């Protein structure tokens, strides 16, 4: 076991990166939300909210499973569990294309509700915006 002076601010030593705790927290939230969604479904008979709560619990189980599956082997240090990136990440330059993609997706959503008179131009705008975004993202400085 590590000495008290070898612990970080959270009380963890190098032998405890904390992945087990995170996986248990997400799994516990998944169990709680599953129970809440079942209770909500029986009490209200409202299927939209029940479905959203069930999907939220599924998301919690997915995150908990991923964190628990990707945990480092026992005895691995914090530095081994979270390796530093060898180079700085690259981000595309600021542009209007993400806004255009979001606007086009909002119009596509409205087109699905209102009809093809809006869906077809919205899909064309989405294709144009995605094309512009991809072309700009491929140009690295």
| pLDDT at residue 2, as a whole number | 47
Rounded distance, CA 34 to CA 22, Å?
Answer: 18
Rounded distance, CA 40 to CA 51, Å?
Answer: 10
Cβ-based burial of 29 (10 A; exposed 0-12, middle 13-18, buried ≥19) = middle
Is the model's pTM score more than 0.75?
Answer: no
Per-residue pLDDT tens listing for the chain (141 residues): 445 555 556 665 555 556 788 889 999 999 999 999 999 999 999 999 999 999 999 999 999 998 888 776 666 666 665 666 667 666 667 889 999 999 999 999 999 999 889 999 999 999 999 999 988 888 766
């Amino acid at each position: 076991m590590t000495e008290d002076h070898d612990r970080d601010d959270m009380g963890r030593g190098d032998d405890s990166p904390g992945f087990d705790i995170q996986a248990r927290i997400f799994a516990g939230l998944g169990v709680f939300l599953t129970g809440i969604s079942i209770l909500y479904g029986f009490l209200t008979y409202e299927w939209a909210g029940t479905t959203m709560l069930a999907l939220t619990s599924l998301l919690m189980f997915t995150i908990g499973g991923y964190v628990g599956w990707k945990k480092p082997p026992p005895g691995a240090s914090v530095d081994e569990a979270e390796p530093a990136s060898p180079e700085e990440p690259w981000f595309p330059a600021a542009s209007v294309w993400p806004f255009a993609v979001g606007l086009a997706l909002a119009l596509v959503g409205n087109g699905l509700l209102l009809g093809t008179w809006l869906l077809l131009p919205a899909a064309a705008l989405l294709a144009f915006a995605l094309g512009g975004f991809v072309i700009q993202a491929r140009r690295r400085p």
